[in-house]
A and B are shown apart, each in its own frame.
Chain A
């Protein structure tokens, strides 16, 4: 019989809801928001496939308060996802050496966020024109 009785720190079942872990939980949920938005895209695509009536119904649904609130939440999720994704990026890639100096993590994050803003802006401008 083993004498070993390791100390296991108690952890609340709702640890992820506590203030300490709020950032973690929101970040992970933002990724789930990405998948939910994928389902919205798929529904829109399928409405076009099914014909003019289904398309009109989908566009009509987009103007309902439920859809607008959903898209505001999804927009917030996308922004949080993008921000945290590019904060993680320099930690997951090899160190970038330019001119014998390691590029600071913050510089990589800012450059990637700038690129993301350009990509999203290009989509919006393309849709408006």
Chain B
């Protein structure tokens, strides 16, 4: 299945672009995606670093921790956004 992986802020520099299509096995979870991304772009995309740096992950616009966190099962066509914490004012 294909996941639309999007990056905002400084994560774009780390990923080398605004986003990409990532191919995963059917039934893969978010951690499957972060493992694949950390292999490609470095440890910043590992779930441990994401937690340590308080990065936000949205799965189709929903905060991943309100779903099943890193165990959330992804579906073909899902959009996953990775972004640093920011504020508006």
A binds B: no
Mark A residues whose CB is within 8 Å of B.
Answer: none
Mark B residues whose CB is within 8 Å of A.
Answer: none
